[in-house]
Amino acid sequence: MKILVPIKRVVDYNVKVRAKTDGSDVDIANVKMSVNPFDEIAVEEAVRLKEAGKAEEIIVLTIGPEKAQEQLRTAMAIGADRGIHVVTDDNVEPLSVAKALKHFVEKEQPNLIIMGKQAIDGDYNQTGQMLAALLGWPQATFASKVELNGDSAHVTREIDGGLETLKIALPGIITTDLRLNEPRYAKLPDIMKAKKKPLDSFTPADIGVDFTNRLQILKVNDPPVRQGGVKVGSIDELIDKLKNEAKVI
């Protein structure tokens, strides 16, 4: 079995994100970048499946600037076998990502695609679903447990009322939730080995996908500063303020 894991380079989740002074976008200058946390979980799950003898090869793929090779090498240090990098400085939207992934799915013929349910920068939560539609493949989203059984997968997902278990035929697409696993830390020997693993680079022109944006960012603002609270001396005073000042009752 061959598993394809798309990953994305994002601002590290520990970094406090700030808007640019002109409000045009998020400021990422001199900011620590990492593998999107949901994608890191997807890589870990693929590696666990390989360690269990359920998969033979793991391919990680990213679309992003030249520096995104760092995140590919991180994924290969965790256990992926090789990487694919579509090099672009554009802010690529979900539909364009799905079209690019479709190109490589048709080329590589993976049996399973495991990917994060969303990226923590755009929070679109669309790419996996769009790719499933383009390929005509079954999908199981927000996975909290994955079991492979021959040519099918049993996927447990959390829903409002509890847990739901789906059975999908392979090839298929699974998107990961936070509770699926806890990603391992890459060891130094594995980091050194990852530098020698194969990594193929492509341009958007090579794969025939137009990355022209269909969405336009109008303005990015920092959240408004919260105002300090006030103490009240009695319930009557609280009710008066809620009624006459806040006007919520």
C-alpha to C-alpha distance for 249 and 242, rounded to whole angstroms: 6
Pairing, β 57-64 against β 162-169: unpaired
- Predicted confidence band at 58 (pLDDT cuts at 50, 70, 90)? very high
Encoded tokens for 234: 């009695």
C-beta neighbour count of 91 within 10 angstroms:
14
* Tens-place pLDDT, residues 159-185: 888 999 999 999 999 999 999 999 999
Return the domain boundaries, the chain. Answer: 2-244
Cα(5)–Cα(76) distance, rounded to whole angstroms?
A: 11
Cα 144 to Cα 200: distance, rounded to the nearest angstrom: 31
Number of Cβ atoms within 10 Å of the Cβ of 111? 18
C-alpha–C-alpha distance, residues 212 and 95, integer Å: 11
pLDDT (0 to 100) of residue 235: 93
Half-sphere exposure (Cβ direction) of 178: Cα atoms closer than 13 Å: 3
The torsion angle over the Cα atoms of residues 232, 237, 241 and 247, rounded to 10 degrees, is: 140
Residue 228 predicted with pLDDT over 90: no
Instruction: Supply the mean pLDDT for the chain.
Output: 94
- Which among 60, 139, 63, 58 is positioned nearest to 94, based on CA atoms? 63
Q: Residue 38 in 3-state DSSP?
A: helix
Model pLDDT for residues 16-56, shown as the tens digit of each residue = 988 898 988 888 888 999 999 999 999 999 999 999 999 99
CATH topology of domain 2-244: Rossmann fold (3.40.50)
At residue 78, the 3 state secondary structure works out as helix
What was the pLDDT predicted at 249? 86
